[in-house]
């Protein structure tokens, strides 16, 4: 297939060099994919290296306390991913003998593993000819084949993604499509002239889609109207977890309010939410005392 050959040739010559790109061990691949779910790829490499040095296997991760895992996750955000990865490791050790299942349906049943992550792990670690469809891949295939990102129903796009995978280069193809999406086929101002898919791309031949242009402008406007980051509850929860990460051992930490612009009531509300998500344990004797979960 000429399109496939052109994308792979570009990837071989200019694909992004990332620390985890050469990994094929299922555990290492899973950690990299979970980290990349909601984190800029440029931030993942060093964090992946440090995390997998501390926890080099499913067994070591499963044996750790949630507190230690959350400490090792510092700086990546969306901390529920760390707990889900720890829970998944325990299931792999307890139910699968420490070996990550290769079956996509079984992978999807693990905590925090959705359709994209399951397929990416299956393709990269196990050589399965399945298409991992994230936002980048959706743009590349949707625009190339149908002329717009959202023109194809999800089921049709998944079938197209599966059919596009070369059986002998499943990992490279998975990485290559993501790189083309991130490098050229961007949401706004795509670089169609330099894209290796241009000769076969319906979107490029039609000079872009007005509908997608309007969507991009709406997204930018929404971002401009969003509340300042330090005023958000997400920022507050992150600061609370960072303070708790500094505590060695099982002791409680009294969180002194205010934290930034957030008063005592806001801090207490955040602790309630963090405890409900399993990210902290609250001191039953003090409304503002907490610690990272011990087990």
Give the residue carrying structure tokens 């509340």. 227
Handedness of CA 15, 20, 25, 26 (dihedral sign): negative
* Residue 224 C-beta-side C-alpha neighbours within 13 Å: 6
Our CA dihedral for 40, 42, 45, 50, rounded to 10 degrees, sits at: -70
- Judge whether 33 counts as a catalytic residue: yes
Phi, psi for residue 181 in degrees, rounded to 5: -65, -40
- Burial string for 229-267 (b: 16+ CB within 10 Å, else e) reads eeeeeebbbbbbbeebbeeeeeebbebeeebeebeeebb
Let me know: does 201 contact 195? Beta carbons within 8 Å. Answer: yes
Q: Which residues pair with 253 in a beta bridge?
A: 290
H-helix or E-strand containing 209?
none
Let me know: does 259 contact 265? Beta carbons within 8 Å. Answer: no
Q: Which of 33, 108, 193, 254 is catalytic?
A: 33
194 Cβ neighbours under 8 A, 6+ residues apart: 184
Residues classed as catalytic: 33
């Amino acid at each position: 297939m000429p399109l496939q050959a052109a994308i792979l040739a570009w990837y071989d010559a200019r694909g992004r060099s990332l620390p985890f790109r050469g990994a094929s061990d299922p555990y290492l691949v899973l950690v990299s994919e979970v980290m990349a779910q909601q984190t800029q790829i440029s931030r993942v490499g060093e964090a992946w290296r440090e995390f997998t040095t501390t926890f080099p296997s499913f067994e070591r991760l499963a044996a750790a306390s949630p507190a230690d895992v959350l400490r090792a996750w510092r700086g990546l955000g969306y901390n529920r991913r760390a707990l889900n990865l720890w829970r998944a490791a325990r299931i792999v050790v307890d139910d699968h003998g420490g070996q990550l299942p290769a079956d996509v349906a079984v992978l999807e049943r693990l905590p925090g593993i959705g359709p994209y992550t399951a397929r990416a792990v299956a393709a990269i670690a196990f050589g399965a000819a399945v298409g991992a469809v994230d936002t980048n891949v959706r743009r590349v295939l949707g625009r190339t084949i149908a002329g717009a990102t959202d023109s194809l129903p999800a089921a049709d796009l998944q079938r197209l993604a599966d059919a596009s995978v070369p059986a002998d280069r499943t990992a490279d193809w998975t990485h290559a499509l993501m790189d083309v999406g991130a490098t050229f086929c961007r949401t706004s101002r795509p670089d169609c002239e330099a894209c290796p898919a241009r000769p076969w791309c319906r979107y490029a031949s039609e000079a872009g889609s007005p509908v997608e242009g309007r969507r991009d402008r709406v997204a930018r406007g929404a971002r401009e109207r969003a509340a300042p980051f330090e005023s958000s509850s997400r920022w507050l929860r992150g600061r609370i977890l960072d303070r708790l990460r500094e505590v060695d051992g099982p002791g409680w930490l009294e969180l002194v309010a205010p934290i930034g612009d957030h008063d005592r009531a806001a801090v207490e509300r955040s602790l309630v939410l963090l405890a409900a998500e399993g990210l902290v344990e609250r001191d039953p004797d003090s409304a503002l005392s907490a610690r990272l979960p011990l087990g």
